[in-house]
Amino acid sequence: MAKRTTLKDIAKASGVHVSTVSRALDPQRSLPLTAEVVDKVRAAAKEMDYHPNRVAYSLRTNRTMTIGVMIPDITNMIFPPIVRGIERVMEPAGYASIIVNTDSQRGRETALLQTLQDRGVDGIIHTAALRNEPSIVRAAQSGLSVVTLNRKLDDTDVPYVINDEVGGIRLVFDLLRNYGHQRIAHLAGPSDLSTGLLRRNAFSAACADTGIDPLNAPIVEATRFDEDEGRRCAIEILDKSPETTAILAANDRLALGAIMALRERGLSCPRDVSVTGFNDMPFLDMIPPGLTTIRIRQNTAGEVAARHLLAIMQRKAAEVPLETILPVSLVERASVAPPRATGPSC
């Protein structure tokens, strides 16, 4: 394994001191130098195929030019686009990303955060935050640059980039109402995640606004955002509130699980029960019956969070808003129809 060229090698080859080489190679610091020596040094560097040792740079400057990206689970299809969005901003800025999967486990989250800090990351984008997670708060307070994405911490001064949860829920809620639904159940997400809680609260608020009695708008909370939980909770809804004509799910995977549950019960979506989702994850359009859902802008979310993190790392934290809410839009497909003309509503 041929040893890498170092500054010292170039210094020797071009007959100047290492510190001069260091300066000559950095456009910022080469200003005071003679054009002649700058050229000579750069020529030698190119000739010898010099690439700076970033580890040494990091030790000296205390900057690794690396960020940590915490996600719940990369196999969950909504996260890859977010990661690409982050990369699109960070890579040109010279940063690499270490991606870790927390599986939404508090223990793993804490341990992985520590690992990232041990590795000296310059900042963290956290898309897996639990609403109250002391370790991340402590890290932020001790000076680590952090922004949360998709989710927010409770009562926090850690900047966050989230989607318009309230607006999104209101969009599907109003759609269902316009179709004539009176008995809408909410298949809620875990309330220890801000997404779960915000959507749930938005649902309740929408009910209140439109004068729907909470008794006619049951809420069942999933413990995870996945198909199995969607199925389980949908069954619970069907059992406890058989007069339900629509299920407003807190995300697409829960909605997909709900549709499976309906099918298992011999019911059809949308004929018997309408279902809506949230996220508009990839390939959703290809899955029957075509879920009506809320589209979020995953790429944009990643880019925005990355830009904010860059600003914070450059000590321009004052320029980044505590709260950034990204617009969402309604995607109508085929999972919503008028309530069937039987049961209590007729």
**Per the structure block, which two tokens stand in for 171?**
């969009």
Shorter beta-carbon distance to a second copy: residue 77 or 267: 77
* Residue 299 vs residues 75, 84, 106, 150: alpha-carbon distances, Å: 16, 7, 26, 12
Pairing of strands 160-163, 123-126: unpaired
Give the nearest distance from C-beta 35 to DNA in angstroms. Answer: 8
| Residue 99 binding: pick among DNA, a second copy, none (C-beta 5-8 Å cut-off by kind) | a second copy
| Residue 27 binding: pick among DNA, a second copy, none (C-beta 5-8 Å cut-off by kind) | none
Residues 195-224 that bind DNA (CB under 7 A): none
317 binds a second copy (CB under 8 A): no
49 binds DNA (CB under 7 A): no
HEC sequence for the chain: CCCCCCHHHHHHHHCCCHHHHHHHHCCCCCCCCCHHHHHHHHHHHHHCCCCCCHHHHHHHHCCCCEEEEEECCCCCCCHHHHHHHHHHHHCCCCCEEEEEECCCCHHHHHHHHHHHHHCCCCEEEECCCCCCCHHHHHHHHCCCEEEEECCCCCCCCCCEEEECHHHHHHHHHHHHHHCCCCCEEEEECCCCCHHHHHHHHHHHHHHHHCCCCHHHCCEEECCCCCHHHHHHHHHHHHHHCCCCCEEEECCHHHHHHHHHHHHHCCCCCCCCCEEECCECCCCHHHCCCCCEEEECCHHHHHHHHHHHHHHHHCCCHHHCCCEEEECCEEECCCCCCCCCCCHHHC
CA distance 230 to 220: 10
20 binds DNA (CB under 7 A): yes
Select from 287, 311, 326, 330 the one that contacts a second copy (CB under 8 A).
Answer: 287
Give the nearest distance from C-beta 199 to a second copy in angstroms. Answer: 23
15 binds a second copy (CB under 8 A): no
Give the nearest distance from C-beta 42 to DNA in angstroms. Answer: 12
Residue pair 220/190 in contact (Cβ under 8 Å)? The answer is no
Binding track, positions 154-183, relative to a second copy; x by CB under 8 A = ------------------------------
| Residue 75 binding: pick among a second copy, DNA, none (C-beta 5-8 Å cut-off by kind) | a second copy
Select from 27, 28, 51, 346 the one that contacts a second copy (CB under 8 A).
Answer: 51
Binding track, positions 73-92, relative to a second copy; x by CB under 8 A = xxx-x--xx-xx--x-----
18 binds a second copy (CB under 8 A): no
Select from 48, 52, 108, 300 the one that contacts DNA (CB under 7 A).
Answer: 52
Shorter beta-carbon distance to a second copy: residue 302 or 339: 302
Give the nearest distance from C-beta 80 to a second copy in angstroms. Answer: 4
Select from 1, 2, 27, 32 the one that contacts DNA (CB under 7 A).
Answer: 32
In the complex, the residues that contact DNA under the rule CB under 7 A are 3-4, 6-8, 15-20, 22-23, 25-26, 29, 32-34, 36-37, 52-53, 56-57, 59-61
In the complex, the residues that contact a second copy under the rule CB under 8 A are 1-2, 51-56, 58-59, 64, 66, 73-75, 77, 80-81, 83-84, 87, 96-101, 114-115, 117-120, 142-144, 256, 282-283, 286-288
